[in-house]
Amino acid sequence: MIDYFDLEASLSQEERLLVDSARSFVEGEIDDMGEHWIEGTFPTEIIPKMGEMGFYAPNLEGYGLPGVSETSYGLLMRELEACDSGLRSMASVQGALVMYPIHAFGSDEQKEEWLPALGEGEAVGCFGLTEPEHGSNPSAMETRAEKDGDEYVLNGSKTWITNSPIADVAVVWAKDHSEDDTPVRGFLVETDRDGVTTNKIDEKLSLRASITGEIALQDARIPEENRLPGVSGMKGPLSCLTQARYGIAWGAVGAAQDCFETAREYATDREQFGKPIGGFQLQQRKLAEMATQITLAQLLAHRLAELKEAGEMRPQHVSMAKRNNVRMARDQSRIAREMLGGNGITADYSPMRHMTNMETVYTYEGTHDIHTLILGEDLTGIQAYQ
Amino acid sequence: MKVLVTVKEVGEADDDFEIEGTDIASSDLEYDLNEWDDYAIEAAVQLAEAGIAEEVVAVTIGPERAEETIRMALAKGADRAVRVWDDAFEGTFADVSSKVDVFEAVVDEEEPELVLSGVQAADTAFGATGVALAERIGFDHAAVVNDLDLDADAGVANVHRELEGGIEELTEVDLPAVLTVQTGLNEPRYASLRGIRQAQRKEIAATDLADLGLTPADVESTLTLTEMYEPESDSDAELIEGDAGEAAGRLAEVLREKGVGA
């Protein structure tokens, strides 16, 4: 894939091996993502295979997890999203949104119970934050937990939850009404408990090769030891999202690179007026712009990895990278689709699939606009969204 | 038992490539583990997982660049590796016997009971290293193996060999032995992230000829590359049209012209 400034040369041998291996895995194991996208299905048989590969939370240590570098983690997300945003979303949710909070805030028992199983893909997890009436402002959430003896009783509903219909466990964020000031707390809710239902959301026009659903909690009782002991308040869910958005900033580059390669190949093969369409200035301008924008996004992702590795990455850095790179992939996938003409609207080619996927990625994990306001606040010291 | 696997890094040319002197420009080559050696590694690692092999050692003849490829073999489960290189190999085109000289010395040092080798290399495609090595070190051998069932207690490898025309030979090979491995023996695994991490801590012993008790004269090649060129493609295909009777008539005519059945 396009790497105009030879950033791969800055990778360690270990990182290059990871790219090779992830690429072979995707090529060898994902049969036809276009077909899954059309059918609205996820290739669930690869969930344990991705676990065997160590694709879930590979940047975490212990519990059999590989503990790779932050750059490696980013590269992996890039390779997965070059195939499809649904594939990267699977790994993002399982790793950054489910395993990360258990690893960071869980008890030893919770870690023992869940991290190996989730890491191997024997169990699937999901992350319940967004509610039907509370998207960009999750701190206004209505889902509540109340202590009753040695149990918590949960009530509320969550929506737009990747993998909820196939999940074994949900990390549910709820306000704990048994505590003063009703702080937001994380709860591990097994989805087979009474009072828990996970309906699937159908007829999505974007991110179709990914399973999305709701979590409804009606007097769902969980043992008190299922609460994540190590965190209280919005920094719990927000710190998870920082991890996941980091992966998105990298993943979007992969989707755009795949669009670029498809468009370049098409432009050099497809002949009109007696020569390849890539020989015309209009198409060359598109390719030049696409290559430039991808390269800029790639540079941002690599620098973000260095900051993360050094412990100097701030959530605002991630906001800027996610905001820029997803917008870039959204715009450039459309240009790639355009270069393919009528052929570009079929599932035989990846750009339109990436293009529609990007509508989801543009809006989830903090909308583009909300990330704008996070940056605005960071730059002026004045909050615009309160 | 100890299993030695000979592996080679091979260069695959891009669709468009330049020829520089007697080689393809290195910027147009993508280096990778030879496909058939991948099957050999997988077979060895499966023997280790079955408790039959105690140690799997990969050996390659290649410059420093080849470390990345051999590291992939370690990431897939080989325990350690030996990389042989020497100034004497620079700019030369090694023949089968000079490679066998090197591998013979490595076998003397490692004393494996089983040597696995890809049936051929994707670049030079001599298909000779494994069997020539067996001859030299006095091991039994089987070439083009696509099924392997090893009975360590009896000291016998039961193998299927793929012969021409879809024929398979089922045979027994006494250990110690050299087997050259054909497509179909197994499906090589992908290197997992854990494997890749562990591979960073595994040894790749950089070894030169003196370390093996050899001299440049021992590995002198009888082969030299004299020229590299792209063959001119000559395409004058004739599409035979018409119904079956017409087409068969025209086909017979063409075959007679070419001297068939004369």
Residue B80 — very low, low, confident or very high, per pLDDT cuts 50/70/90? Answer: very high
List beta partners, residue B12. Answer: B30
Which residues in chain A are contacts of B72 at CB distance < 8 A? Answer: 17, 20-21
A66-123 pLDDT tens trace:
999 999 999 999 999 999 999 999 999 999 999 999 999 999 999 999 999 999 999 9
Q: How confident is the model at residue B230 (pLDDT cuts 50, 70, 90)?
A: confident
CB atoms within 10 A of CB A28: 12
CA-only gyration radius of chain B, Å: 22
Domain that holds residue B47: 2-219
Judge whether A187 and A138 are in contact, CB under 8 Å: no
H-only helix segments in chain A = 13-29, 33-39, 46-53, 70-83, 85-92, 100-105, 108-119, 235-269, 281-309, 315-339, 351-363, 368-380
State what percent of residues in chain A have pLDDT above 70: 100
How many domains does chain B divide into? Answer: 1
Instruction: Report CA dihedral (B17, A289, A301, B196) to the nearest 10 degrees.
Output: -20
* Beta-carbon pairs below 8 A across chains A and B: 51
Question: For chain A, how far is it from start to end, CA to CA, in angstroms?
Answer: 43
- Determine which of A115-129, A223-237, A259-273, B158-172 has the lowest per-residue pLDDT on average: B158-172
Say yes or no for a CB contact (<8 Å) between A13 and B192.
no
Q: B193 and A13 in contact by Cβ < 8 A?
A: no
Question: Percent of chain B, pLDDT > 70?
Answer: 100
What token pair was written down for A291? 């290559």
Interval A125-183: pLDDT, tens: 999 999 999 999 999 999 999 999 999 999 999 999 999 999 999 999 999 999 999 99
Can you tell me the distance from the alpha carbon of A342 to that of A347, in angstroms, rounded to the nearest whole number? 11
Partner-chain contact A55 B199, CB within 8 Å = no
Q: How far is B240 from chain A (nearest CA, A)?
A: 28
- Chain A CB contacts of B30 below 8 Å: none
Residue range(s) of every CATH 2.40.110.10 domain in chain A: 126-226
Is B246 within the bounds of a domain? no
- Alpha-helical regions (H) of chain B: 35-49, 67-75, 96-110, 129-137, 193-199, 244-257
- CATH 1.10.540.10: which residues of chain A? 7-124
pLDDT digits (tens, 9 = 90+) for B154-169: 999 999 999 988 899 9
Q: Which of A8, A14, A63, A65 to mutate to test the interface with B (most CBs of B within 10 A)?
A: A14
Residue B248 belongs to a domain: no
Give residue A162's pLDDT.
Answer: 97
| In-domain check, residue B34 | yes
Report the C-alpha gap between B118 and B7 in whole angstroms: 7
A55 vs B contacts (CB less than 8 Å): 193
Would you call A58 and B190 a contact, using CB atoms and an 8 Å cutoff?
Answer: no
- In this prediction, residues B44-72 reach a mean pLDDT of 96
User: For residue A2, which of A250, A254, A252 has the smallest C-alpha distance?
Assistant: A254
Best of A23, A50, A53 to substitute, by most chain B Cβ atoms within 10 angstroms, is A53
pLDDT, position A88:
97
The CATH 1.20.140.10 domain(s) of chain A lie at 235-380
**Cβ–Cβ of A54/B199 closer than 8 Å?**
no
* Distances A361 to A46, A313, A367, B83, B87 between C-alpha atoms, Å: 22, 21, 8, 46, 53
- The reply to whether residue A14 touches residue B68, judged by beta carbons under 8 angstroms, is no
Q: Is it the case that residue B26 has pLDDT exceeding 90? A: no
How far B153 CA sits from the closest chain A CA (Å)?
32
Query: In this complex, which of B68, B190, B200 lies closest to A24 when CB atoms are compared?
Result: B190
Is CATH 2.60.120.200 the classification given to domain A7-124? no
Taking a C-beta distance cutoff of 8 angstroms, is the pair A233, A184 a contact? Answer: yes
Homologous superfamily, domain A126-226 = Butyryl-CoA Dehydrogenase, subunit A, domain 2 (2.40.110.10)
Contact B193 A25 (CB under 8 A): no
Q: Is the confidence at residue B14, as pLDDT, over 90?
A: no
Q: Quote the pLDDT of residue B259.
A: 85
Nearest residue to A97 via CA among A182, A177, A188: A188
Nearest to B193 among A16, A28, A66 (CB): A66
Q: State the Cα–Cα distance between residues A301 and B190, nearest whole angstrom.
A: 26
Q: Is the pLDDT of residue B248 over 80?
A: yes
Residues of B in contact with A58 (CB under 8 A): 193
Which two structure tokens, joined as six digits, stand for A205?
A: 């026009």
Integer Cα distance of A94 and A247 in angstroms: 12
Output the pLDDT for position B166. 85
pLDDT surpasses 70 at B262 = no
**Predicted pLDDT at A207:** 97
Q: Which residues of B touch A72 (CB under 8 A)?
A: 193
Inter-chain contact B197–A64, Cβ cutoff 8 Å? no
Q: Which residues of B touch A (CB under 8 A)?
A: 67-68, 71-72, 75, 190-194, 196-197, 199-200
Mean pLDDT, residues A310-333: 98
Chain A closest CA to B57's CA: distance in Å?
19
ipTM over 0.85? The verdict is yes
Q: Assign residue B52 the CATH number of its domain.
A: 3.40.50.620
Residue A365 among the catalytic residues: yes
The minimum CA-CA distance between A333 and chain B, rounded to whole Å, is: 25
pLDDT on residue A31: 86
A15, A131, A214, A365: the catalytic one is A365
3-state secondary structure at position A176: strand
User: Chain B residues with CB inside 8 Å of A16's CB?
Assistant: 68
In a domain, B240, yes or no: no
Residue B124 within any structural domain of the chain: yes
Please identify, in words, the CATH class of the domain defined by A235-380: mainly alpha
Does residue B247 lie in a domain region?
no
A298 pLDDT above the threshold of 90:
yes
Minimal CA separation from B190 to chain A, in Å: 6
Q: What is the mean pLDDT of residues A46-53?
A: 97
